[in-house]
Amino acid sequence: MTVRSATLEPPERAVAVRPNVSLALLSVAHAINHAQVALMPLVFIAIIPEFGIGVADVALLVTVGNILSGSMQLSFGALTRIAPRRVILGIGNLVFGGAMAAIAATSSFLPFAATSIVSRVGGAPQHPVGNGLLAEQFPPRRLAFAISAHIAGGNLGSVAIPLLGGAVIAAAGWQTAVVVFGLPAIVVGVLMLALIRETGSDRAEARARGSARSLYLSLRHERDLLWLYLSAAIAGGGRGLGVISTFVPLYLARGLGYDTATVAAMYTLLLAGSVPAPLVAGWLADRLGHKAMLVATYVGGAGALVFFALAGSSPPLLWAAIVLLSLFNFAESPQLQALLADVTPGAIRDVAYAVYFTVAFAIGSTWVLLYGGVINALGEAAGFPVVFALMAAAFLAAALAVLPVRAGRRARVPATGSTAGAGRLEPGP
């Protein structure tokens, strides 16, 4: 699909954007981004004896990488005022893929750690900058599906790597694996720089609206955004990736005593559902309304968690519960991100997404720590059911936080020197 600005002066500055090209490249980049996250645990297994390190060293590396890449999210609201999103995304993928491939040349832990952290930081623009680009280029009636496709692409990377990455490591070693999965990111980065087109309307509005600091501070007065931030923080307690994907396999193995093969099969089904579920939910949301679909997803996710906890050790009930978890709990995040775009003016879209993903990364880690503490305090037999009950309660509370949001009213923010209040399809810089 090609969309051309129709009311621009002078006409020669009109920019033809290609939303589907942007979405395709973002989805592939997201798959590679998730592939790295899924591949590195397999690499860690190989380097621990090779480099003579311990699990604590690996845990420290992962923590530092998460903190640095997560904290970078907040900076993109300011960086997008300086550089086009395609440049930030393209260079980010070049750094991400180049550093990942360079890991293969390291022969001790410190260079390995430093290079892998650089790679993680290079992948940081994927969520906030990528979603800002989609929100600018896709109309509201197609936005939920676009964001869902972006997220489904990442989930596909998570699902495929345990098999593909393990096979490459077994056949050719971990050094080959990081090169094999790093080089595609470089190619995608080059394609982003060459093929993505932008109108620059959001950047023009943001500059006209004021300084980056003033835009960040203005979020305090965006009532609907604050409700969505609260919902995102609460919903982190029942979200699929990072929370459900961490505790469901542990419960199956340690709480119910299932064998490794059965746990692996159920876990594979859980992750496999994370690819089609967001796509279907996004398609429905664009037709039924983003807010209505988000609330329905929260309620369905809470019900799936309760069903899973009550299924006991019954295989048929557990398989059915796994299917429900994969349908609802992996589909929530894209619906929330689409609703955020609904209520966010173009001038503050980048800072809004920057804050959103910073909150999501920070709170997600907090929930995991909380649940681990509950299980440690109560014991595994009593702790796991309590944790799943807390997850269900979190999803219901998140649904309540969404109810006050005034959906379908993307703000029109007048900005001096900007010709379109909607912040869409304007001339580039």
| Residue in 40, 174, 53, 180 with CA at minimum distance from that of residue 120 | 40
pLDDT of residue 306: 96
| Fold match flag (15-199 vs 220-402) | yes
Residue 2 near residue 17, CB atoms below 8 Å: yes
Residue 286 near residue 142, CB atoms below 8 Å: yes
Cis bond upstream, residue 10 (ω within 30): yes
To 10 degrees, the CA torsion angle through 131, 137, 140, 143?
-40
Spans of all domains in the chain = 15-199, 220-402
Domain at 220-402: CATH code? 1.20.1250.20
**What pTM does this model have?**
0.72
Instruction: Please tell me the distance from the alpha carbon of residue 358 to that of residue 379, in angstroms, as a whole number.
Output: 32
- SS3 state at 422: coil
Tell how many helices (H) and how many strands (E) occur in the chain: 19, 2
The CA distances from residue 254 to 66, 146, 271, in Å, are 27, 38, 19
pLDDT of residue 9: 35
> How far does CA 306 lie from the centroid of its chain?
25
Residue 360 near residue 69, CB atoms below 8 Å: no
The CA radius of gyration of the chain, in Å to the nearest whole number, is: 22
Give average pLDDT by consecutive 10-residue segment, the chain, 429 residues.
Answer: 39 67 93 84 84 80 78 83 92 95 93 93 89 87 86 81 79 92 94 91 81 84 92 89 81 86 84 84 86 94 95 93 92 85 83 84 75 86 92 96 79 37 33
pLDDT of residue 332: 86
pLDDT of residue 63: 73
The yes or no reply on domain 15-199 and CATH 3.30.2350.10 is no
Quick one: DSSP state of residue 16?
E
